[in-house]
């Protein structure tokens, strides 16, 4: 039985797409092994959000070649989409797939094998011409804890720092019927939690209409999943959303259906209006603050997580202080802090006032200290309470961990038998990057 190994860089959408490709190989009789093992085929699903992501992608491609020089190496994802020529020049690469045609991955690998690796197989096309959502089924069921369900592709926001619109193309949405069918399949397979993902999730449905001409919305996708999963779905979590795309109807649904996790990831990127304008973000700090205030008032205990870029071109010391001061007023559960990465092909890469690397490093450190403080305060607020936890990881012998609905990492005594199950846990003390608690009862 031929062996295939996968590795994934980047976002939850990439993770979903890797799981799909794994499933396609499995149903064709291939055995999936760990990436650090000897394999006949290596598939690297790449990232291009930052220069570091591209560097890591190249390193993993070369690592695969060292592990088995005779192996077929297939490269997929955003890096191969935006830089197919660069990928093609890396020694050992046999198959190049961008952000389309993943359903053909087995066929393309076998084509490379049949020509004895004498001719590189490259099917990267013009992603800006893509019109249809690539509706690919999830065959692989790894872990049986939570499943990613991709319902949207593409982005047309064109933030000035971001390469993703050029890597993923225009907006395409999955049909509601397909979402319902996939939900039923995932619930029947034993998943207790589904995570809705997309490149620009809040734009779901803009390319779809009802028979009466009305636009389909993200809330309808959420309602479709909750309805289709009525016999077994314990949780539904939303992926990253733009703050301006949150609707009152979605927040109301979070209040009335406790299966919809009280967790929203709303990228801020900067706490200064001048920088937000330069980034081509479509909101002001005042709008963002008002939205967060309203959400927290309506959904007590909700986790608001975010992304912030430090050192964007033109960010002076004063403007950075504005971001620090703004973030201090919000109270995030978790902040992902990134130094600005100058991406060739984006408008911001050509901006004149680039921030020195040393300054970016200091700003990242200062933001991270504030992020750690706010995360600690968020966790502190739940000590002594009892929350439901979906256990997903065996940390070490006798210790397991999992996530609450509001995205808190919880540790407890347990073993492999608890993985994939939801339990009530009384939270007792801080532990590592989360809290330690005692399991009081299981619900699944």
pLDDT of residue 141: 59
Q: Which positions ≥6 away from 416 have C-beta within 8 Å? A: 394
Q: What is the pLDDT of residue 142?
A: 55
Look at the chain and count its residues: 444
The pTM score is 0.92
Averaged pLDDT, 316-333? 98
Per-residue CA distances from 17 to 152, 153, 381, 405 (Å): 12, 11, 36, 24
The average pLDDT across 154-169 equals 96
pLDDT at residue 140, as a whole number: 58
Mean pLDDT, residues 404-426 taken together: 96
Mean pLDDT score, 410-438: 96
Instruction: Find tokens 């890096």 and name the residue.
Output: 79
> Mean pLDDT across the chain, nearest whole number?
94
Q: Report the C-alpha gap between 425 and 440 in whole angstroms.
A: 6
Q: Among 10-19, 74-83, 383-392, where is mean pLDDT lowest?
A: 10-19
- pLDDT of 231: 84
User: What is the per-residue pLDDT for 153?
Assistant: 96
pLDDT digits over 114-138, tens only? Answer: 988 888 999 999 999 999 998 877 7
Mean pLDDT is lowest, of 123-127, 227-231, 421-425, for: 227-231
Structure tokens at 411: 């540790």
Quick: pLDDT tens for 300-315: 999 999 999 999 999 9
Decide if pLDDT at 340 tops 90.
yes
pLDDT of 286 reads: 98
In this prediction, residues 320-332 reach a mean pLDDT of 98
With a cut of 90, say whether residue 375 has pLDDT above it.
yes
Domains and CATH numbers, the chain: 3-125 (3.40.50.12160), 146-380 (3.80.30.20), 386-442 (2.40.50)
| Token pair listed for 296 | 């927290």
- Read off the tokens for 392: 């997903």
* Cβ contact 6:32 at 8 Å: yes
3-state secondary structure the chain: CCEEEEEECCCHHHHHHHHHHHHHHHHCCCEEECCCCCCCEEEEEECCCCHHHHHHHHHHHHHHHHHCCCCEEEEEEHHHHHCHHHHHCCCCEEEECCCCCHHHHHHHHHHHHHCCCCCCEECCCCHHHCCCCCCCCCCCCCCCCEEEEEEEECCCCCCCCCCHHHHHCCCEECCHHHHHHHHHHHHHCCCCEEEEEECCHHHCCCCCECCCCCECCHHHHHHHHHHHCCCCCCEEEECCCCHHHCCHHHHHHHHHCCCECCEEECCCECCCHHHHHHHCCCCCHHHHHHHHHHHHHHCCCCEEEEEEEECCCCCCHHHHHHHHHHHHHHCCCEEEEEECCCCCCCHHHHCCCCCCHHHHHHHHHHHHHHHHHHHHHHHHCCCCCEEEEEEEEEEECCEEEEEECCCCEEEEECCHHHCCCEEEEEEEEEECCEEEEEEEEECC
Structure confidence by residue, pLDDT tens digits, 175-222: 999 999 999 999 998 899 999 999 999 999 999 988 787 889 999 999
């Amino acid at each position: 039985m031929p062996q295939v190994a996968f590795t994934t860089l980047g976002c939850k959408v990439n993770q979903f797409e890797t799981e799909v490709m794994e499933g396609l190989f499995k149903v064709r009789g291939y055995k999936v092994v760990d990436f650090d093992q000897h394999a006949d085929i290596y598939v690297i699903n790449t990232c291009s959000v930052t220069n570091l992501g591209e560097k890591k992608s190249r390193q993993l491609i070369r690592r695969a070649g060292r592990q088995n020089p005779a192996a077929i190496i297939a490269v997929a994802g955003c890096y191969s989409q935006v830089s197919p020529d660069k990928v093609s020049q890396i020694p050992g690469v046999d198959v190049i797939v961008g952000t389309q045609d993943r359903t053909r991955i087995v066929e393309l690998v076998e084509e490379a094998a049949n020509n004895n690796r004498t001719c590189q197989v490259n099917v990267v096309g013009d992603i800006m011409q893509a019109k249809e959502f690539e509706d690919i089924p999830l065959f692989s069921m790894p872990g049986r804890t939570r499943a990613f369900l991709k319902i949207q592709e593409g982005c047309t926001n064109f933030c000035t720092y971001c390469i993703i619109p050029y890597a993923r193309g225009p907006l395409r949405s999955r049909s509601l019927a397909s979402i319902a069918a996939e939900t039923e399949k995932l619930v029947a397979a034993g998943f207790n939690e589904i995570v809705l993902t997309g490149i620009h999730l809040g734009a779901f449905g803009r390319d779809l209409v009802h028979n009466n001409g009305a636009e389909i919305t993200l809330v309808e996708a959420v309602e479709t999943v909750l309805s289709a999963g009525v016999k077994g779905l314990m949780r539904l979590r939303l992926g990253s959303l733009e703050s301006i795309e949150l609707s009152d109807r979605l927040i109301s649904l979070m209040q009335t259906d406790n299966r919809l996790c009280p967790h929203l990831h709303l990228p801020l990127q900067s706490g200064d209006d001048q920088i937000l304008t330069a980034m081509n973000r479509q909101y002001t700090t005042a709008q963002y603050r008002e939205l967060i205030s309203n959400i927290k008032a309506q959904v007590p205990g909700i986790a608001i997580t975010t992304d912030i870029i430090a050192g964007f071109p033109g960010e002076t010391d004063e403007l950075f202080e504005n971001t620090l001061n703004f973030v201090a007023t919000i109270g995030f559960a978790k902040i992902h802090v990134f130094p600005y990465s100058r991406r060739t092909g984006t408008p911001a890469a050509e901006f004149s006032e680039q921030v020195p690397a040393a300054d970016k490093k200091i700003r990242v450190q200062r933001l991270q200290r504030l992020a750690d403080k706010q995360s600690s305060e968020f966790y502190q607020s739940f000590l002594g309470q009892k929350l439901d936890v979906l256990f997903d990881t065996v940390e070490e012998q006798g210790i397991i961990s999992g996530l609450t609905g509001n995205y808190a990492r919880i540790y407890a005594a347990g073993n492999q038998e608890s993985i994939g199950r939801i339990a009530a846990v009384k939270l007792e003390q801080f532990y590592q990057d989360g809290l330690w608690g005692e399991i009081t009862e299981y619900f699944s």
